[in-house]
Amino acid sequence: MNQDVLDLARLQFALTAGGHFLFVALTLGLVTVVAALQTRATISGKPQDARMVRFWGQLYVINYAVGIVTGLVMEFQFGMAWSGLTHEAGNILGASLAVETIVAFFVESTFLGLWVFGWHRLNRWAHLAAIWIVALTAYLSAYWILVSNGFLNHPVGYSSENGELVLDDPVAVLTNPSALLAFGHVLSGALLTAGFFMAGVSAYHLFRRSAEWEFFGRSLRIGVFVSAPALMTAAVFGGIQFSTLTTFQPMKSAVFSGKAAEIARLQAELSARFGPGDYVPSEAWTRGGGLVMLISFGLMMYLCFAGVILACFKKVVFRFRLWHLVLMAAVPLPYLAMIGGWVFRESGRQPWVVYGLLKTEDAVSDLSPGTMRLSLTVFATVFALLALLNAWLLARHARRGPVESGLGHDERPVRDDPGPDGSDEGASEGPPSSDPADALPAPRY
């Protein structure tokens, strides 16, 4: 295998998978917050609660839509650059990836469409159910992806037939501790990302003395109070994962800890078991990713603990401009922690793509360096443009604040013709419609 092709293929997948992961982090967290906000709005019927659903829901929809495109683009890599992986382990990975596709693109997208276009048409409880189904299917989508990733990091429930891996124990694959622990870690990290995002956007408006001070004061508090427990939950799942490394991937643990004697011993054992080769992952990437994650966690822990205390005082929430600046600057921290953790998890697995079973050099497609360079250029350009588009759209709508147009705005036509007696009475009720949806009661929120 040409080393240039291998390096380019790994770089391409790292950029695209890591980029897509950052979209997923905000999407998973924000949909949970939006569903909780709509639950409150549905019960209370207060206009302010409804406005919060529409504003944060608009930002969620933007991030979701662009993130879906990045996921579609990333999928092309499996068949193009990693044919060895699909040939060797496709019988196991294919099932979980297929279920994820059905859940994400058929169920989740269908109910998201009902939620987006169902304002003022669906019954308020049906509309609330739609967003909760979207949230639950988003969790399922993440779970199935992590089932596949968990198998790559800790293969279980398989047997080998004719040189290919086949599914032998579905329950073992679905309950793989490498997948379940990562699932809890990712979900709590996603809520942490959403909490910091909400607090940062709200702090921006409060810093500028926005007229919507009450709206963003509440939003800032929600962001802070979501972030603190999410951070602690992420720390618990992360700590458990660290403790399992000595069993599942001892070389990764030794490299991160910098234990030279342990690294040498494991290198000798792996060479004797699997043949000559370098079984030590990159220390720079493995330790660097882990340190970025831990440093970001430490900073967020301080901000969360201090934020919980500060958020208890209304005057501080509305007037402490230095705190507002800190919250705005802290928005990237959960993203850094998420990407650092992902780099640590994936780089530390090298040189294996399926740990102990399939080396990365045996999984990459037989392509020319020129083809791989062209592919990397195209993929990197597309992802960079999508990331810039998403950032611009999020910033644009976040700066606008809650407005009456956009998501949930009732744009049904208004009658211009006078009533039967020549007056304008009833003109605002709109023309008669045969659409059965128009007969349904509009949500109170």
Q: What is the span of the domain harbouring residue 246?
A: 194-366
Strand-pair partners of 165: 160
Total count of domains within the chain: 1
14-23, 172-181, 214-223, 278-287: least confident range: 14-23
Phi, psi for 313 (deg, rounded to 5): -115, 120
Q: Given this model, what pLDDT does residue 444 score? A: 41
Could you tell me if residue 180 is inside a domain? no
pLDDT one-digit tens code per residue, 357-398: 999 998 888 888 888 899 889 888 988 899 899 999 999 999
Nearest Cα residue to 363 out of 162, 92, 80? 80
Q: Given this model, what pLDDT does residue 255 score? A: 94
Nearest Cα residue to 339 out of 237, 138, 193? 193
pLDDT at residue 413 tops 60: no
Could you tell me if residue 84 is inside a domain? no
Confidence label for 430 from pLDDT (cuts 50, 70 and 90): very low
Q: Given this model, what pLDDT does residue 443 score? A: 40
Could you tell me if residue 42 is inside a domain? no
Could you tell me if residue 289 is inside a domain? yes
Contact by Cβ (8 Å): 31, 131: yes
- Tell me the whole-structure pTM to 2 decimals: 0.87
Q: Given this model, what pLDDT does residue 82 score? A: 86
pLDDT at residue 349 tops 70: yes
CA distance 114 to 119: 9
Could you tell me if residue 286 is inside a domain? yes
What region, left, alpha or beta, does residue 186 occupy, with left being phi > 0 and alpha being psi -120 to 50 degrees? alpha
Could you tell me if residue 340 is inside a domain? yes
**What mean pLDDT comes out for the span 29-46?**
94
Q: Given this model, what pLDDT does residue 405 score? A: 59
DSSP string, 119-173: TTTS-HHHHHHHHHHHHHHHHHHHHHHHHHHHHHHS--SEEEETTEEEES-HHHH
Residues in the chain: 445
CA distance 43 to 52: 14
Token reading at 276: 């000559």
Could you tell me if residue 345 is inside a domain? yes
**What mean pLDDT comes out for the span 407-419?**
52
Question: Across 149-246, where does the E strand assignment appear?
Answer: 158-161, 164-167
pLDDT at residue 417 tops 60: no
Nearest Cα residue to 35 out of 146, 127, 144? 127
Nearest Cα residue to 28 out of 173, 138, 111? 138
Q: Given this model, what pLDDT does residue 409 score? A: 65
Could you tell me if residue 381 is inside a domain? no
DSSP string, 258-287: T-HHHHHHHHHHHHHHH-SS--PPPHHHHH
pLDDT one-digit tens code per residue, 307-347: 999 999 989 999 899 999 999 999 999 999 999 999 999 99
